[in-house]
Amino acid sequence: MKLLCTILTIISFSFTALAADPTLKKLVILGDSLTEGYGVAQSAAFPALLQKKVDADKLNWKIISSGSSGSTSASGLQRIKWIAKDKPDIVLVLLGSNDGLRGLKVEDTKKNLNDTIEWAKKNNITVALGQLHVPPNYGKDYEKKFSAVYGKVATKNKIQLGPFLLDKVAGNKDLNLADGIHPNEKGHQVVADNLYPFIKKLISE
């Protein structure tokens, strides 16, 4: 019995060693419920769909979803410090949608994103920023100022700026859950299709 357990342990270790490809690079998506895939299966959320596209193109990258429902940009700094322990090659920051939904101060969102990105750069982590917009609930002025934050942060930190995450999805009833905020499975497919050209360019540079 002891010999059998030893053999099984060796086999298990061997499979684990084979699965852990040391050459596989990691891109972590740091986000909120949109990244987490709220309301859909993990396999149907856009990070998993991006992984399928990466695999189809035979790119040696692992797409890791680090989405946490309800997160605001204020969580970015502490979370990226935690993510850094896994030594990611690239971190794509997708935070801020909950800031906008709660009507938080635009300057606070800007500061939080800058703090997160500056820390990453100081610690030699390649970082990129994805864009998030807000519905016009708080008026056109707030909407405009909020949307402008992402371009300003990317320019200040000299990093790549991705497309609006929910382009062609936001406001489309057929592509969202009943809450009108989170994409359904079809919506996540559109998000992945829109985001992949940026991701592919990012990991190929």
Q: Is 125 within a domain?
A: yes
193 among known catalytic residues: no
Q: Is 30 within a domain?
A: yes
Q: Is 2 within a domain?
A: no
Give the range among 1-15, 100-114, 134-148, 188-202 with minimum mean pLDDT.
1-15
Q: Which residue of the set 33, 68, 69, 75 is catalytic? A: 33
Q: Is 14 within a domain?
A: no
How much of the chain exceeds pLDDT 90, in percent? 85
Q: Is 9 within a domain?
A: no
Q: Is 178 within a domain?
A: yes
Q: Is 17 within a domain?
A: no
33 among known catalytic residues: yes
Long-range pairs for 157-161: beta carbons < 8 A, 24 or more residues apart:
157/114, 157/117, 157/118, 157/121, 157/127, 157/129, 159/117, 159/121, 159/127, 159/128, 159/129, 160/128, 160/129, 160/198, 160/202, 161/128, 161/129, 161/130, 161/131
Q: Which residue of the set 141, 179, 188, 204 is catalytic? A: 179
Give the residue-averaged pLDDT of 18-28: 76
179 among known catalytic residues: yes
What is the tens place of the pLDDT at every residue in 143-156?
999 999 999 999 99
Full-model pTM: 0.88
> What local confidence, expressed as pLDDT, does residue 56 receive?
98
Give the range among 20-29, 64-73, 78-87, 114-123 with minimum mean pLDDT.
20-29
| Structural domain of 160 | 24-204
Which DSSP symbol is given to 28? E
Opening angle at CA 89, ends 108 and 197, nearest 5: 80
pLDDT of 5 strictly over 50: no
> What local confidence, expressed as pLDDT, does residue 18 receive?
35
CATH at 110: 3.40.50.1110
Opening angle at CA 75, ends 186 and 78, nearest 5: 125
User: Structurally, how many domains does the chain consist of?
Assistant: 1
How much of the chain exceeds pLDDT 70, in percent? 90
Q: Which residue of the set 32, 71, 99, 182 is catalytic? A: 182
* Residues paired with 131 in a beta bridge: 164
Q: Is 1 within a domain?
A: no
